[in-house]
Structure 1
Amino acid sequence: MALLDRLPGRGVPDPPPRLDGRTTVVCGGAGEVGEGIVAGLLDAGARVAVPSRGHERLQALEHRLRDAGRPVERLVPVIGDLSAGEDAAQALAADVLRLAGPPDLVVAALGGWAAGPPLAELGLDEWESAIHDGLRAHHLAVRAFVPLLRDRPGAGYAMINGAAARYPVPGSGAVSTVAAGELMAAQVLAAEESGYGVQVEAYVLGPVATRSRSESAPWMASAEQVGGVIADRAGRRLAGGGDAGPATVVEILTAGDLRRARDLPPGGVRGAGAGRAGWILWGLQTGNLSNQVRRGAPPRD
């Protein structure tokens, strides 16, 4: 490599600042996607607090991360139920503060995917349950953890969402409505918290490779790669300690979106390079397409 290429601003870009000495929290970190985010933050040097209801889930998470070579000495398991209500959520946040210290980054990797009947045939009880359960945990997480981020230079709050937030998928009416609500909640939260210096980011993910999706297509991003993007962006923001602004909305539908996600400036909105892919994303996320299709080319218009 030429000397000029090693100079700042030339050739290969400088690596993003690490998260050494920083405290992060991943709500839902014992889940499929959350585990990859935890791994990415640990690799970047962060101390990572992971709340969960059960000791067994946290122990299993630690074992998998250790087997994968991750530095689990910086993993902070916290027993608590975020969804149990206001008092339980506040007690959980207090335990995180006591065990791990004031957080610089909180990631909410909450919720999941479910298919059902068409909206016109969806029963009212099922609809109300889906909307209530889908949004409740996110709101409790916001109330419990966002006040801990206020007035911490470069602090961030990241909400992990699915492609159903932006792409219409038959059979996903309730889940899509929840996802769209979460996406708007992130944007409203950013408008409200920018004065406190909290930068809010919303990640809209397509199907990602996780521990249970071992036969993922080569064009799919992995949960660990998503975690790496979150860590890189948080490292730059914390190193700069700049002012917060509108919500950063990043789509990662394929591995090709990872670089663009890393480079998006705070407050930016970046659609995925794969274009509109609602129907095929539905098939990929619910397993209703064959492995041959899953291993093929990424979705296009």
Structure 2
Amino acid sequence: MKQFLILGGTGDVGSGVIAALLDAGHGVLAASRGGPKAEALQNRHAGRSFQLIEGSVHDEAAAATLLQGVRARVDRVDGVLAGLSGAWPQGKTLVEWSSADLLAIVHDNLITHFVAAKTFVPIVIDGGIYIGVGGAMADRIFPHYSYNSMIQSAQRTMFRYLDHEMENHRIAIRELIIGAMVTTEHKAKGDDPKYNWITDREVGEHIRAMLENPADFPGPIEHLFSARGVGRSRPVDPASVRAVA
């Protein structure tokens, strides 16, 4: 039985990955900041090979404490999924942001990924994989989403560097860009024709395939557009990116 660590286990992506991994017979450690969603997740998977650890990757100190909690249960893991995301507010042009507010949202949606990677990459076994989840707005321009595009562009570059700088490439470093809206049992699919939709379980099955067979997803940046792509590698070609009005 393989053992996987899920950071952001109560999120839409994390919860789908947990279910897919448990159904496939793997062990799962999930990190969460606690609260009603964490309690519901614990109850949902009671009696299975599932452990919930309270903690965060808000900064290095918090991540170090979380790492201690993980190592109290397992010494190494076969893979890590970082499904981390803060709030994504709307309604401002770029110059309407204050530098302090912009810095805070960059921290919650980018720096947390940096902290998570530097903390938990070392506990992945040789041949394993570390996956961060990102969005598809890095090369697109939408009104009032400047901060989102900026963060996702920086995140994509960060994962390319993490993969490039991994000594001897002993593990795979991947970013999965989800180019679709994710639905759950509590969040119904909308009727806006501009958006693709994919379920949390379909995303979970795709990430399960990446965690189980890293060599099948050469990356370093993988893209999931729709349910048709579940389980298949689709690396992002830097030459193919474009901006849209």
| TM superposition score category, shorter chain reference | 0.7 to 0.9
Query: Is residue 228 of structure 2 the alignment partner of residue 253 of structure 1?
Result: no
Return the alpha-carbon distance in structure 2 between the equivalents of residues 232 and 133 of structure 1.
Answer: 28
| Superposition deviation, residue 194 in structure 1 | 5.3
Q: Identity, % of aligned pairs?
A: 25
Q: Which amino acid aligns with 2:175?
A: A
Query: Is residue 233 of structure 2 the alignment partner of residue 264 of structure 1?
Result: yes
Q: Which amino acid aligns with 2:233?
A: L
1:210 matched to which residue of 2? 184
| Superposition deviation, residue 215 in structure 1 | 3.4
1:75 matched to which residue of 2? 50
2:116 matched to which residue of 1? 141
Unaligned runs of 5+ in 1: 1-20, 280-301
Higher strand share: 2
Q: Which amino acid aligns with 2:206?
A: V
Contact 1:49 / 1:100 at 8 angstroms: preserved in 2? no
Residue 99 of structure 1 aligns to a residue whose secondary structure is: coil
Residue 126 of structure 2 aligns to a residue whose secondary structure is: coil
Contact 2:181 / 2:196 at 8 angstroms: preserved in 1? no
Q: Which amino acid aligns with 2:103?
A: E
| Superposition deviation, residue 173 in structure 1 | 1.0
2:139 matched to which residue of 1? 166
2:155 matched to which residue of 1? 182
Return the alpha-carbon distance in structure 2 between the equivalents of residues 166 and 157 of structure 1.
Answer: 24
Q: Residue 153 of structure 1: which of 114, 126, 140 is its match?
A: 126
Q: Which amino acid aligns with 2:78?
A: D
Contact 1:32 / 1:211 at 8 angstroms: preserved in 2? no
**Distance of aligned partners of 1:263 and 1:81 in 2 relative to their CA distance in 1, 3 Å threshold:** closer
2:4 matched to which residue of 1? 24
Unaligned runs of 5+ in 2: none
Contact 1:249 / 1:269 at 8 angstroms: preserved in 2? yes
Residue 104 of structure 1 aligns to a residue whose secondary structure is: strand
Q: Which amino acid aligns with 1:140?
A: V
Q: Which stretch of the first structure deviates more once superposed, 170-179 or 209-218?
A: 209-218
| Superposition deviation, residue 246 in structure 1 | 6.8
Q: Residue 226 of structure 1: which of 196, 203, 215 is its match?
A: 203
Contact 2:196 / 2:225 at 8 angstroms: preserved in 1? no
1:284 matched to which residue of 2? none
| Superposition deviation, residue 144 in structure 1 | 1.3
Residue 77 of structure 2 aligns to a residue whose secondary structure is: coil
Residue 189 of structure 2 aligns to a residue whose secondary structure is: coil
Q: Which amino acid aligns with 2:100?
A: D
**Larger radius of gyration between Structure 1 and Structure 2:** 1
Residue 82 of structure 1 aligns to a residue whose secondary structure is: coil
Calculate the aligned-residue CA RMSD, in Å: 2.8
| Superposition deviation, residue 134 in structure 1 | 2.1
State TM-score, norm by structure 1: 0.70
State TM-score, norm by structure 2: 0.85
